[in-house]
């Protein structure tokens, strides 16, 4: 048996014994110092693993941030997004918003291996790894002012749902009321919608996703649209990438400036700014003018999103492998 296989087997045995013997305490609420006693070095280890991955490829920070969002919006922040398909359920990875689009699963595996090794026990959940990696990516790409304290203590789901992923994640063609309606359904308000969409200050999107907007939308700067039509043909070239704002490797407030100039790359981005003085327009203008206001509001909205239906107490489990539920 290879060393890693042995580690995995050991984890399954320990996890099974723990559920049988230990009477787990119930932590109904998440807390910032959840790992302080069981593995005080966990957060430092995760941050260096995220840092290493971003040094290798800057875009991965964006991909990790998006994974946490796609986890939380589908039956809560429970790492269901990380599960591979099984004979018993089709997972979320091939749902329409995720298929050929979500990335970073290998980096999550790397982080999980590093943190389990450092802790010498299997105590950090995959759902918490996603929340921490998202925060660290933001702070590494944006600097200290974008750092916020993450709440921890989530456990991992033993199920995933392809249908729920299709029904709960916003497609890029949604209009403003559809976007707000979906965010409201997840306990998030207009401010959360505008500030969390600011995540599109990093990363890229594919021609197949923004084609409709650059060929058919009217609420778009004509020069901006023409430039993008040069790289994204009417047919074919679906995976060709374009940056979501002018500084895709910096977590900053440039995204909001692009909206003001009708240069939002996704239809859904531009829906947040129409230039008619709506409440959404006002928030876009605030965050464009004041990066400190954006920084001050981004963390609290991420924490709100991170609080969507976490599994705590005896619910769920701490997975040995983020891609699989624990089964001896
Ligand atoms: C408001 C509704 C939203 C819609 C309609 C939306 C849609 C999308 C789409 C279609 C892509 C590109 C996918 C591709 O081309 O493969 C994307 C990328 C991205 N999204 Fe969103 N998104 C939304 C909100 C959010 C939120 C709330 C976050 C995080 C808090 C987020 C983080 C990201 C990031 C970081 C990327 C770039 C990923 C990368 O480069 O790998 N998005 N989004
Ligand atoms: C997901 O992508 C793969 C590879 O491109 C494709 O074969 C498959 O049909 C897609 N699945 C769904 C559900 O769209
Ligand atoms: C898992 O999800 C499927 C589909 O959503 C559902 O039919 C099944 O009952 C769930 N299983 C468990 C154990 O929750
Ligand atoms: C947004 O889309 C919904 C569903 O297609 C539609 O009923 C509604 O009229 C649209 N709202 C606006 C302002 O276009
Ligand atoms: C633009 O809209 C027209 C008319 O609705 C449609 O036939 C065409 O496929 C659309 N083009 C793109 C690139 O989406
Ligand atoms: C701004 O325009 C949108 C649709 O284009 C509309 O739903 C909204 O009511 C308008 N807001 C104001 C303040 O005029």
> pLDDT tens for residues 158-174?
999 999 999 999 999 99
For residue 277, being part of any structural domain is answered with: yes
> 264: annotated binding-site residue?
no
3-class secondary structure, 242: strand
Asked which of 169, 191, 210 is the last residue of a domain, the reply is: 169
**Distance between Cα 180 and ligand 1 center (Å):** 15
Asked if residue 297 and residue 180 are part of one domain, the reply reads: yes
pTM of the predicted model, to two decimals?
A: 0.96
Confidence of residue 9 (pLDDT cuts 50, 70, 90): confident
Asked if residue 103 and residue 135 are part of one domain, the reply reads: yes
Predicted local confidence at residue 249, as pLDDT: 98
CB atoms within 10 A of CB 276: 7
For residue 131, being part of any structural domain is answered with: yes
Whether 298 contacts 148, CB under 8 Å: yes
Asked if residue 217 and residue 160 are part of one domain, the reply reads: no
What Cα–Cα distance (Å) separates residue 28 from each residue in 11, 79, 152, 307, 310? 25, 18, 11, 11, 9
The count of domains in the chain is 2
Question: b or e along 1-40 (b: 16 or more beta carbons within 10 Å of the residue's beta carbon)?
Answer: eeeeeebbeebbeebeeeeeeeeeeeeeebeeebbeeebe
Which of 68, 70, 186, 267 is an active site residue? Answer: 70
Asked if residue 69 and residue 136 are part of one domain, the reply reads: yes
Asked if residue 92 and residue 35 are part of one domain, the reply reads: yes
For residue 293, the domain's CATH number is: 1.10.420.10
- Of 132, 293, 268, the closest CA to residue 209 belongs to 268
Please state, for a pLDDT cut of 90, what percent of the chain lies above it.
Answer: 91
Question: Which residues are near ligand 4 (CB < 6 Å)?
Answer: 175, 177-178
- Residue 53 Cβ inside 6 Å of ligand 1? The answer reads no
Domain span at residue 204 reads 176-305
For residue 83, the domain's CATH number is: 1.10.520.10
């Amino acid at each position: 048996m290879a060393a890693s296989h042995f580690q995995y087997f050991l984890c399954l045995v320990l996890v099974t014994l723990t559920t049988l013997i230990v009477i787990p305490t119930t932590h109904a609420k998440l807390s910032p110092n959840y790992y302080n006693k069981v593995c005080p070095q966990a957060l430092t280890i995760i941050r260096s693993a995220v840092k290493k991955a971003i040094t290798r490829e800057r875009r991965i920070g964006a991909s990790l941030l998006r994974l946490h969002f796609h986890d939380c919006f589908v039956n809560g922040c429970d790492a269901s997004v990380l599960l591979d398909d099984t004979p018993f359920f089709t997972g979320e990875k091939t749902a329409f918003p995720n298929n050929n689009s979500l990335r970073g699963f290998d980096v999550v595996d790397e982080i999980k291996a590093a943190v389990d090794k450092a802790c010498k026990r299997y105590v950090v959940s995959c759902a918490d790894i996603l929340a921490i990696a998202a925060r660290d990516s933001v702070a590494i790409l944006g600097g200290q002012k974008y750092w916020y304290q993450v709440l921890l203590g989530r456990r991992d789901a033993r199920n995933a749902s392809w249908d729920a992923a299709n029904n709960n994640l916003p497609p890029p063609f949604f209009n403003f009321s559809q976007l707000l309606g979906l965010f409201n359904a997840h306990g998030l308000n207009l401010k959360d919608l505008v500030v969390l969409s600011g995540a599109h200050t990093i990363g890229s999107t594919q021609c197949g996703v923004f084609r409709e907007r650059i060929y058919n939308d009217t609420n778009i700067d004509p020069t901006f649209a023409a430039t993008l039509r040069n790289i994204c043909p009417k047919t074919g070239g679906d995976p060709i990438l374009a940056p979501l704002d002018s500084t895709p490797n910096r977590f900053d407030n440039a995204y909001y400036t692009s909206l003001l100039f009708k240069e939002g790359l996704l239809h859904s981005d531009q829906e947040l700014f129409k230039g008619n003085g709506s409440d959404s327009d006002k928030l876009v203008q605030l965050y464009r003018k004041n990066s400190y206001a954006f920084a001050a509001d981004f963390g609290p909205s991420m924490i709100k999103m991170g609080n969507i239906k976490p599994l705590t107490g005896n619910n769920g489990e701490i997975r040995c492998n983020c891609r699989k539920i624990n089964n001896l």
